[in-house]
Amino acid sequence: MKNLILFFTLFFFGTTFSQNYKITYLKSSNGSLIENQDPIVVFTSADVTQIGSKNIFNGKADFPNETTIIDRKTNSFNQVANLNTTKTIHSKDSISLGKQTFDYLSDTQKILGYHCKKAKTIVNSNTIELWYTDELKVKGAPTILGQNLGLVLEMVRNGNFVIKATKVEEIKLFPTKPDLSKSIDMLTYKDLLWKSRFTTISVFKEQIINFSDASKSSDSILCFANGTIAVRKIKIPEIKVGSQIFVDVTEQSNGDAYDRTGSFFIIPTDKPISFLDGMRNGVKTLPIYNNGNGKEYQGVVAKENYNPIVELMRFFTPFGVKQYNTLQLKDKTWAENVLYRQDVSDLRTMLSGKEVWVGINIGNYDKGGHKVSANITIHNEEETKSKPTQIVPLFCTNNIMEMAGQEYGTMFSSDKGLEVTFILDKPMRNAKLRYITTGHGGWENGDEFVPKKNTILLDRKEVFSFTPWRQDCGSYRLSNPASGNFPNGLSSSDYSRSNWCPGTVTNPIFIDLGDLEAGNHTLQIKIPQGLPEGNSFSSWNVSGILIGE
């Protein structure tokens, strides 16, 4: 009987008083604690370690949030992510912990009264120093790194970023372990976790942009100009001030071998006439701009009853990416597609909480054309104080409806160039012109290959001038399999151009206009456009919007 009592006594104390610890860590940078941080918390025992944050374990963390559970018996770990209130994902890694290697150094120090030894390793060119103790007979660390060293109480990255234990507590109970029965592969896990951190609005998915009488609209996507334009209405949620907004377009050839002008754009519908009316009813129904050179330019400047399109992003297709990858050159591995991505956070007030018409266009005359996907992504930041922003669309000479008869931007052949008059109902402070410009005329003396000065005048006074020119086009050779090769050893896609390259985005520039008073103003763009040669002519695609407080 005494032996039986002794057995149960040993079993009781052996299970109840096993060593379980809670360690709290804080992060500092360049010797200063990071403000308003959520402390890292590690729970650890002989068999299990859990890593998270104070708010996660208290059920107060924002979504998404992530914890790590190490199984010391199998030397593996599970990454667990709560994407929202109803969806949790996890993935198991049985390899990474066993691959970690360290240099063991002779340095020692005491942290929170515990004798610590030092190990060092290099991860992605970062030097990591870890201080760990064996005195508590358990292992753990505030990250996956160093889990098998001992109990890591301090980590130092590159000498200036530190994660250091501030408290070690012995505890009786661990946090509840989540259900780990349905695992996904780590690559899928990381992708789902990354995508859950921002909002993605899918605008177009593998949309064909081609030139064909067979191109038809669907219930959600309208096609115009023989299929060279696709348009749809989307709803954009409220976007917090200070958040980042990006647009991205993925393109590959579906038959067209040439470099083409593309545009991802918004159609303002706040005035009686819109560009959408011109697409539906014909380009001649759009307001006309006439600068005295004998041509009529449809829908290119703002009028009292009309706003031109606003370009989110101007992009240029390369020569036949994907479709013509079978054209082989030694030591050249062609890209499968081209990704264009741009920050458009400055257009927040045009997008936030709105239903907007969004379109995409690639000017081409090919039946196969191009295949594109396009998204808008919203990346929330902390709310910031900001003055209200006004956005005033002014002009766009990019002839989106080229294949439906819209005139090319050749108005710069006259001294008047492009001129738009606009009215401000109230003063605008810190006004800026968001200006996109590219020159075209694809022969030796065409403006595509000849630098030309752009001059901007406000109320008849010059405010800015520059010569838009790209000299980095050769950087994108691997996106241009069908680009022609010349006797001098260059390919067509290598040549410098007037602010664009095959396979790139043309970024807007921001021109300071200062404080503008309420009332009438005139903005003028002058470019010394080259003269025609035979059937060849030059043109300029310029677009501009006014942004200010």
Q: Do 77 and 84 touch, CB atoms closer than 8 A?
A: no
Q: Measure the CA dihedral 8/12/15/20, to 10°.
A: -160
Cα separation, 249 vs 215, in Å, equals: 21
3-class secondary-structure state, position 451? coil
AA letter at 424:
L
Q: What CA–CA distances, in Å, run from 19 to 22, 177, 342?
A: 10, 18, 53
Q: Is residue 8 part of a domain?
A: no
Report pLDDT for 41.
98
Of 163, 192, 221, which residue is a domain's last?
Answer: 192
Q: Which two tokens stand for residue 354?
A: 């709105």
Q: Please report which confidence band the pLDDT of residue 178 belongs to, taking 50, 70 and 90 as the band edges.
A: confident
Specify the pLDDT at position 519: 97
In the predicted model, is pLDDT for residue 9 greater than 80?
Answer: no
397 Cα distance to chain centroid:
26
Side chain identity at residue 284, one-letter code: K
Which range, of 28-42, 66-80, 233-247, 374-388, averages the lowest pLDDT? 374-388
- Indicate if the pLDDT at residue 300 is higher than 70: yes
- 155 and 273 assigned to the same domain: no
The reply to whether 332 and 461 lie within a common domain is yes
Neighbours of 116 (CB within 10 A): 22
411 within domain boundaries: yes
CATH number, residue 187: 2.50.20
Cα separation of 397 and 541, whole Å? 5
Rounded distance, CA 506 to CA 439, Å? 11
Question: Does residue 509 belong to any structural domain of this protein?
Answer: yes
CA distance 148 to 328: 50
Query: Residue 305: what pLDDT?
Result: 97
Q: What is the pLDDT of residue 15?
A: 37
- The mean pLDDT of 341-360, rounded to a whole number, is 97
Q: Return the DSSP state at 140.
A: B
Question: Token digits for 517?
Answer: 């008073």
pLDDT of residue 4: 35
Domain identity same for 384 and 446? yes
**Mean pLDDT, to the nearest integer, of 247-271?**
98
Please name the amino acid found at residue 181.
S
Q: What Å distances lie between residue 244 and 247, 257, 342, 390, 397, CA to CA? A: 10, 35, 11, 18, 28
**Are 231 and 148 found together in one domain?**
no
Q: What is the pLDDT of residues 422-451, one digit of tens each?
A: 999 999 999 999 999 999 999 989 999 999
Are 193 and 186 within 8 A, CB to CB? Answer: no
In this structure, which amino acid lies at residue 516? L
| 8 A C-beta contact, residue 53 and residue 61 | yes
In a domain, 310, yes or no: yes
Looking at 192, 223, 258, the residue that finishes a domain is 192
- 434 and 325 housed in the same domain: yes
Question: Can you give the residue range of the structural domain that contains 380?
Answer: 198-548
The answer to whether residues 157 and 217 belong to one domain is no
Question: What pLDDT was estimated at residue 83?
Answer: 95
534, 535, 537, 541: CA torsion to nearest 10: 180
Q: Could you give phi then psi for residue 474, rounded to 5 degrees?
A: -65, -15
Instruction: Assign 236 a pLDDT band (cuts: 50, 70, 90).
Output: very high
Asked if residue 218 is part of any domain, the answer here is yes
Residue 423: give its domain's CATH number: 2.60.120.1570
CA 384, CA 46: separation in Å to the nearest integer?
A: 46
Per residue in 470-502, pLDDT tens?
Answer: 999 999 999 999 999 999 999 999 999 999 999
Q: Does residue 10 sit within a domain?
A: no
Are 215 and 184 contained in the same domain?
Answer: no
Average pLDDT over residues 499-508: 98
Considering the domain architecture, whether residues 158 and 258 belong to the same structural domain is answered as no
Question: Token pair for residue 18?
Answer: 């096993």
Mean pLDDT of all residues in 519-542: 97
**What pLDDT is attached to residue 10?**
34
Q: How far apart are the first and last CA of the chain?
A: 88
What's the number of domains the chain is made of? Answer: 2
Reported as a single tens digit per residue, the pLDDT across 51-85 is: 999 999 999 999 999 999 999 999 999 999 999 99
**Residue 487 and residue 402 share a domain:** yes
Q: Residues 418, 301: contact at Cβ < 8 Å?
A: yes
Q: What is the pLDDT of residue 12?
A: 35
Q: Domain check: are 188 and 336 in the same one? A: no
The H or E element that residue 99 is part of is helix 96-99
Average pLDDT in the chain: 94
CA separation for the pair 14, 25 (Å, rounded): 29
C-alpha to C-alpha distance for 119 and 102, rounded to whole angstroms? 6
Both 213 and 134 in one domain: the answer is no
Question: Is there a contact between 372 and 204 (Cβ–Cβ < 8 Å)?
Answer: yes
What kind and span of H or E run contains 121? strand 114-123
Torsion of CA 418, 422, 428, 432, to 10 degrees: -20
Band (pLDDT 50/70/90 cuts) for residue 383 is: confident
- Residue 382 binned pLDDT confidence (cut-offs 50, 70, 90): confident
Q: Is the pLDDT of residue 313 over 50?
A: yes
Pairwise CA distance, residues 524 & 516, whole Å:
16
Helix (H) / strand (E) element for 187: namely helix 186-195
Give whole-number Cα distances, 465 to 130, 400, 452, 470, 525, in Å.
55, 26, 10, 16, 10
CA atoms within 13 A on the CB side of 546: 28
Whole-number pLDDT of residue 6: 37
Please check whether residue 3 lies inside any domain of the structure.
no
Domain boundary among 139, 163, 192: 192
Radius of gyration of the chain (CA): 31
- Structure token digits, residue 48: 């299990």
Please tell me whether residues 213 and 275 are part of one structural domain: yes
3-state class of 177 per DSSP?
coil
Give the pLDDT of residue 384.
73
Residue 484 lies in a domain: yes
Strand partners, 120: 103, 129
